[in-house]
Amino acid sequence: MEPIYKVIERESPPWIVEVNEADGFLLNNKFTTDFRIRGHVYEMLKKANASLPAGYRIVVYEAFRPRKRQWELWNWMEAEMKRRHPDATEDEIYKYTREFIADPRGFGSGHQAGGAVDVSLAGPDGKELDMGTAVDEMNDRTRTHSSHITSDQRANRAMLLAAMEAGGLVNYPSEWWHFCYGDRLWAEMTGAEVAFFAPLQEE
């Protein structure tokens, strides 16, 4: 289960900032009020926001996530996968769970490293765009290029994806809202041998 690449903390101490609405973002408090993130990733996020059409803004749902919160999500998803797949083996349940929630052990989630961010978009009227699912809904329609969404929803996701990629962030294909840089998932997605943002805390 352990990845073959290394994780090296390149910042000592880590450069951590808070996402700020004064920088042009909207914050959604559905999951957290803690919007800390790696400073380098925040600069990339600001670049992504600036690349959007006039009046559109990135909505931030979650950035840093403590290990305790990651365990809560992991245990919930594992139970949900056992409910959905009652005849699955233990290894299959692990695979199904890990598709949507990173294993909190070891290198953990990119959120634990402050290198990942969950986002959506708001239009000129300040309302969030229809992306086809809610953030963290976890089903076939949450995949970035799902065929089970409308053309308008697909266009909204494409706008978000283009902006985030313009900022240098990488999307996780199973979750249209999840983007990262420098963390474990980023290394997996890009083929990098070294991820350079380690978890920010043990607990």
Q: DSSP assignment of 89-157, as one string?
A: -HHHHHHHHHHHS--SSTT--HHHHT-EEEEEEE-TTSPBP--SS-TT--SGGGSTT-SSS-HHHHHHH
pTM of the model as a whole: 0.86
Question: Which band of pLDDT confidence, cut at 50, 70 and 90, is reported for residue 172?
Answer: very high
Q: Which residue has 């006039």 as its token pair?
A: 54
What pLDDT, in 10s, does the model give residues 1-29? 444 567 888 888 899 999 999 999 999 99
Question: Which band of pLDDT confidence, cut at 50, 70 and 90, is reported for residue 203?
Answer: low
What are the domain boundaries of the chain? 6-65+111-195
Q: What is the pLDDT of residue 1?
A: 40
Fold of 6-65+111-195: Muramoyl-pentapeptide Carboxypeptidase; domain 2 (3.30.1380)
Which among 100, 94, 93 has a CA at the least distance from the CA of 118? Answer: 100
Query: Residue range 162-171: average pLDDT?
Result: 98
Question: Which band of pLDDT confidence, cut at 50, 70 and 90, is reported for residue 202?
Answer: low
